[in-house]
Amino acid sequence: MSLPKPPLISQQSLQIVTQINNYLTTAQLSGKCVATSNLRDMWEQASQGNNSALVYVCWSGDSPRGPSAISRWTHRVDREWAILVKRGRGFYSTRGDSLNQTKGNEIPFYDIVEGVRDSMRQILSISEEGLVEFNNIRPWQLGNTVLDAYLMTFTTSNDMPTITSTPQNQTQVVNT
């Protein structure tokens, strides 16, 4: 699969946020998905108390695809995405019950994490290679502090615009 033109990072971020918000609505979950500017911003927003399902999306950088002898000519990168899924545990006699059991009208938190993961994997139009690559899910921790949240990472394969060998919009300096 080849995309008609390389998508901008902002377009991809908006598409991911929209996809996850659609999942949250379809699953009848209260909560929302928002973009964050970096992992610290993600941490600060997630640290605020809330019992709704909250999902944060952060572009965490690009890495060249393959060794430089190849990537220099292919202009392809692996674009890395971090997605944090958070929901408060609620007040239950056994705190872990809300992870794997329906409590009140809340579905198990693990089901929400899986739903967000699978929703991301279904996006077909943001990666040159068709599918978004799922990398991992881990409990979220920053330093020594742990939140009731899971961080998942994904990679999209994207082409950067080709740079021509003819300077464009540059002023040449001539030594005299």
Instruction: Read off the pLDDT of residues 52-66 as tens digits, 9 standing for 90 and up.
Output: 889 999 999 999 988
What are the domain boundaries of the chain?
9-159
pTM of the full predicted structure? 0.83
Higher pLDDT, 10 or 71: 10
Question: Would you say residue 82 has pLDDT above 80?
Answer: yes
Q: How far apart are CA 164 and CA 176, in angstroms?
A: 27
Decide if 51 contacts 80 (C-beta within 8 A): no
Burial (CB < 10 A; 0-12, 13-18, 19+), residue 153, is middle
Using one digit for the tens of pLDDT, what is the confidence trace for 32-48? 999 999 988 998 888 87
Question: Helix 9-26 crosses helix 109-121 at what angle (to 10 degrees)?
Answer: 140
The C-alpha R_g of the chain, in whole angstroms, comes to 20
Q: Residues 6 or more apart from 51 whose CB is under 8 A from it?
A: 87, 88, 90
User: For domain 9-159, which CATH number applies: 3.90.1200.10, 3.30.2000.10, 3.10.129.10, 3.90.1150.10?
Assistant: 3.30.2000.10
